[in-house]
């Protein structure tokens, strides 16, 4: 018979493994969904297209900016998870997951297949103009980097554009519970994380952070010169 304390521990462990991503392990398979954001605009704090704060109003980010603009689509992509409360106007979105380079390309293709942009299948003839979201069935390849700042790295197995009015696309699209680990694939090792994609090692992401800060500074300077 299980003791009370071990039951308690199991209960606690199961609590901790859903849905907060800080308890994830390499090889975990789960469904995630949210706004897709480029790391350039995350690092810049404000989005370059609208000037709005990236983690506050990701729904204002244009598909055009995300997938037509090299400075954005050449940076890493992340999935932003929704604030837990909708009543707080100041609530921020969370940097939930980083996408591998391959998964980023899949998500870019998805955005172009439904969105409104220069490189989109329908050109600008789509009403999906801002706040592109995706729902992904994915596996964790690596945990946080940047001293905990960079969220876990995931690789998507399946991805879809959720109906914008659907508030539980993990369930609708994949029959899965958002953020809950379905199983752990013991074959996945952390090496898979560093081998996939270009910007996955800590050194590279530090570098891209530094260069994006530099470009951002440059843009601001040019803008300043232009306006004066
Ligand atoms: C999610 O991906 C895993 C691969 O890791 C696969 O085994 C599973 O069938 C997928 N689930 C769905 C609902 O697509
Ligand atoms: C792990 O690898 C073994 C051997 O290649 C394979 O038989 C097994 O199905 C794999 N497990 C998963 C969950 O992919």
185 lines ligand 2 (CB under 6 A): yes
Q: Are 143 and 23 in contact (CB under 8 A)?
A: no
Q: How far apart are CA 199 and CA 61, in angstroms?
A: 22
221 lines ligand 1 (CB under 6 A): no
What's this model's pTM, rounded to 2 decimal places?
A: 0.76
- From 137, 160, 177, mutation site for ligand 1 pocket: most ligand atoms within 8 A of C-beta: 137
pLDDT grade, residue 208 (50/70/90)?
Answer: very low
pLDDT tens digit string along 83-129?
A: 988 778 789 999 999 999 999 999 999 999 999 999 999 999 999 99
Q: Are 135 and 164 in contact (CB under 8 A)?
A: no
Ligand 1 center to residue 139 CA distance, Å? Answer: 9
**Stretch among 8-17, 42-51, 110-119, 197-206 having the lowest mean pLDDT:** 197-206
Question: Nearest ligand to the C-alpha of residue 187?
Answer: 2
The residue whose CA is least distant from atom 10 of ligand 2 is: 187
Q: Can you give the residue ranges of every domain in the chain?
A: 4-227
């Amino acid at each position: 018979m299980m003791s009370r304390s071990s039951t308690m521990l199991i209960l606690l462990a199961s609590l901790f493994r859903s849905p907060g991503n800080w308890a994830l392990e390499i090889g975990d398979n789960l469904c995630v969904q949210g706004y897709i954001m480029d790391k350039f605009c995350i690092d810049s704090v404000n989005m370059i297209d609208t000037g709005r704060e990236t983690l506050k109003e990701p729904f204002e980010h244009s598909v055009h900016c995300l997938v037509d603009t090299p400075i954005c689509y050449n940076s890493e992509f992340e999935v932003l998870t929704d604030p837990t409360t909708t009543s707080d106007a100041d609530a921020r979105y969370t940097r939930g997951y980083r996408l591998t380079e391959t998964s980023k390309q899949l998500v870019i293709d998805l955005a172009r297949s439904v969105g409104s942009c220069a490189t989109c299948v329908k050109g600008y003839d789509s009403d999906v103009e801002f706040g592109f979201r995706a729902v992904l069935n994915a596996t964790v390849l690596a945990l946080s980097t940047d001293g905990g700042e960079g969220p876990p790295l995931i690789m998507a197995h399946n991805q879809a554009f959720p109906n914008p009015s659907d508030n539980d696309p993990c369930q609708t699209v994949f029959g899965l519970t958002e953020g809950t680990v379905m199983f752990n694939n013991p074959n996945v090792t952390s090496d898979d994380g560093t081998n996939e994609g270009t910007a996955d090692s800590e050194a590279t992401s530090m570098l891209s952070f530094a260069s994006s800060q530099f470009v951002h500074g440059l843009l601001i300077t040019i803008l300043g010169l232009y306006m004066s």
